[in-house]
Amino acid sequence: MLKGKCLFCFSIIVLLISSFALTNRVIAQSGTKLYVDPSVAPGDPGEEFEIQIKVEDVEKPLWSWYFLLSWNASLLEVPDDPDTVGTVEGVTEGSFLKNVGATRVSSKFPSQMQNETTTTLLAMCSLTSATDPLDAPTGSGTLAIITFVVKAEGECPLDLYETELCYLKSRVEPTPILIDHTVEDGYYKYGLPILSLEPSIIMNKTFAPDSSFTINISVVDVGKAEPIQYLYNWSFSLYWDPTILTATNVTEGPFLNQSGPTSFPLPKINQTGGYLRANCTLLDPANAVIGNGTLASVTFLVVGRGETILNLDETQLIDSGGNSILHTYRDGYFNNAASDVAVTEVVASPTTVKAGGTVTINVTVRNVGLRNETSIDVSVVTPSPPSPSYKAIGTQPIVRLDPHEEASLTFTWDTKGAAKGNYTVRAQVNVLGDEFSGNDVKDTYVDVTSTQGLPTTLIIGAIIVVVVIAIAIFLYTRRKPTKT
């Protein structure tokens, strides 16, 4: 009997251990990723290039990040002024955390980590106590941008390690908790082939709806790097905003077929989704080519006004042996809005408040047009339930905003007297002559839970006064009359 009980207990223990191990395995399979973008970066001596440290699919509200990045000291360097302690000039914070609230950023080259062959960068960032931990961002975005100067020809890993992503449960529990994630390094290589769009930037207000234009998808430096690889097959996807552009035709360029016949299947074009997929293969691998040239040409019909990234993705270059050719690629950009200022971000903090509390509203606007804009007004309003009319929270001016520049403004909403309900907080930009109004407005939401009661000290004081008066009345009524 005792032996049976021991065996039963042992089985339970084994089951619990197995369950714990399985749970750990599930936790380890996190979808959150920290990575270098682009994964492979090119550059000639004397040139600069940028990489971004990005996070993907973070599910917990990200409060802080930390990483080390190492590379070959003889090939690359990051600009830095040694007199600015705690700041490396070649490192800038990405938008992921700072779009939510104030941040603390630090970057440096720890002396104990440097040697003759390797340079190591340390960078970290966290939100400040002014932000509620539950308002920290989730999803995907850029944490940091790093500028490199190429010193010499060669290649080396951009080693990303000792990374930390953390969240906080609440202000009451301020201890950072690690977020499980995977890490992907980057790589630098001299002489990489580059896929790009020509022209890469199209900014012309004369491209009105119903007009058309053509771009080329070109490659340079095939076969420049050792060992030499000859191009036999290429493929790519191209994405755009379908409300602005429609692809009407894709033709093969002359680069691959210069040495022999090719197979160029009809490209797949999805007008609704705004993307296409094209590929081409030489019929004889012996005719594979090196050098520079046009792979394909794409004709677009303009259907609206605004801006869109012409996003190259899923690119492949294959050599005559069936091996991938390491390469990089660069996106293009289209803009036909002569005058256009957009609200790109509106963030309220906190998003839940008792009536009488204060809400901070951060608004970001961007000049996505082609000319310098002056006399810009940004307003924030909210309807007051149940009334459909809007209540003005505030209006602020922007004196000047050049193309591609952004401005961030902070508004304060005093919710004193606000009724309980879910409020739409609307930011709107007003510019005289704005030719595209589809991006002038952006909303966020604030939940007013209840009306604030009287201050606690006032309530306690009132109770004390009532008690004192009650005692006085009781003592007075209990007092016996004196004899005369």
pLDDT value, residue 184: 95
- From first CA to last CA, the distance across the chain in angstroms is 95
**Which of the residue ranges 34-43, 214-223, 437-446 has the most confident prediction, judged by mean pLDDT?**
214-223
> Which residue has better confidence, 59 or 484?
59
| Rounded distance between C-alpha atoms, residue 443 and residue 428, angstroms | 9
pLDDT value, residue 449: 87
The strand pairing partners of 64, in sequence order, are 126, 166
pLDDT value, residue 427: 94
36: nearest Cα among 137, 143, 149, 124: 143
pLDDT value, residue 457: 59
- pLDDT(44) > 70: yes
Please list the helix, strand and coil fractions of the chain in percent, rounded to the nearest 5, in that order.
15, 50, 35
pLDDT value, residue 472: 74
Q: Where does 303-369 show beta strands of DSSP type E? A: 307-319, 328-329, 332-335, 341-349, 352-355, 358-367
Average pLDDT on 32-48 reads 89
- Give percent of the chain with pLDDT exceeding 70: 88
- CA 386 to centroid of chain Cα atoms: 36
Domains along the chain? 33-189 (2.60.40.680), 194-335 (2.60.40.680), 341-451 (2.60.40.10)
pLDDT value, residue 4: 47
- pLDDT(180) > 80: yes
Q: Return the minimum-mean-pLDDT range out of 12-16, 126-130, 134-138, 390-394.
A: 12-16
- pLDDT(11) > 60: no
pLDDT value, residue 7: 40
Cα angle 164-166-169, degrees, rounded to a multiple of 5: 165
pLDDT value, residue 6: 46
- pLDDT(483) > 70: no
Give residue-wise pLDDT tens across range 388-410. 667 889 999 998 888 888 899 99
Q: Name the pLDDT band for 227 (thresholds 50, 70, 90).
A: confident
pLDDT value, residue 419: 84
pLDDT value, residue 35: 96
Give residue-wise pLDDT tens across range 302-342. 998 888 999 999 999 999 999 998 888 889 999 887 788 89
Q: Name the pLDDT band for 101 (thresholds 50, 70, 90).
A: confident
pLDDT value, residue 480: 55
Average pLDDT on 200-213 reads 87
**Cα atoms found within 13 Å of the Cα of residue 322, Cβ hemisphere only:** 0
- pLDDT(22) > 60: no
Query: 369-401 burial, b if ≥16 CB within 10 A, otherwise e?
Result: bbeebeebebbbbbeeeeeeeeeebeeeebeeb
- Give percent of the chain with pLDDT exceeding 90: 55
Say if residues 267 and 227 touch (Cβ distance below 8 Å).
no
Q: In the predicted model, what is the mean pLDDT of the chain?
A: 85
